Structure 1
Amino acid sequence: MLYGTECWPTKRRHVQQLSVAEMRMLRWFCGHTRRDRVRNEAIQERVGVAPIEEKLTQHRLRWFGHVQQRPPEAPVRSGVLKRVDKVKRGRSRLKLTWDETVKRDIKD
């Protein structure tokens, strides 16, 4: 489910959708339904799984470490780390970029 998520500039909505899907799978795995009224934390503790937001952060920072190890002339590094200022973004463009997400993860 997390394949390729290290390249996403994830919004809160994405994290929420992933956590809902994960909890549905964990409930199914444990044999519980929503009607059983078992808390999410209890199911995560029983299975021994960390919250999906922590996993996303770990994947993103691991990928950032791999990008940093590449030589400066590598296409992946120049494409990720190059910032162009004074560029007007379109209306439908995401306001959050991948490098801004990584900076937020490093700060946290």
Structure 2
Amino acid sequence: MSIKLGLGATIVSVVCAYAPRPGCTEKEKDTFWEEMDQELEIISARERVIMGGDLNGHLGISREGIKRVHGGWGVGERNDGGERVIDFAVTFDLAMINTFFEKKINKLITYRSVAGRAR
């Protein structure tokens, strides 16, 4: 879902997205990323894009080969979901802003899934 805002001579497209969680099927995840590709492909290159939401991927700390989109302040190791987020960011030249500044340790992870854990 997106909305366009006219700010003077600048058009800003604000995109809100919540990717399927890790327990969802690969088909659901593929469908989500295909729809995200379609959403961004219709945005003009002259427009600015702000994207918020939860893309359900761990980006990791490594930024080798992706310094334009990853600031190096991720957490742990990149997972499959993180790879998809990185690929998406590189494809559409989007910076993952939350990786460009250091955060307090207690703010690095705001939610941990308990799916699959014994209770």
Query: TM-score interval w.r.t. the shorter chain?
Result: 0.3 to 0.5
User: Of the two, which has the highest radius of gyration?
Assistant: 1
Judging by fraction of residues, say which structure has more strand.
2
TM superposition score normalised by structure 2: 0.32
TM superposition score normalised by structure 1: 0.34
Bigger RCO (CA 8 Å, 6+ sep) = 1
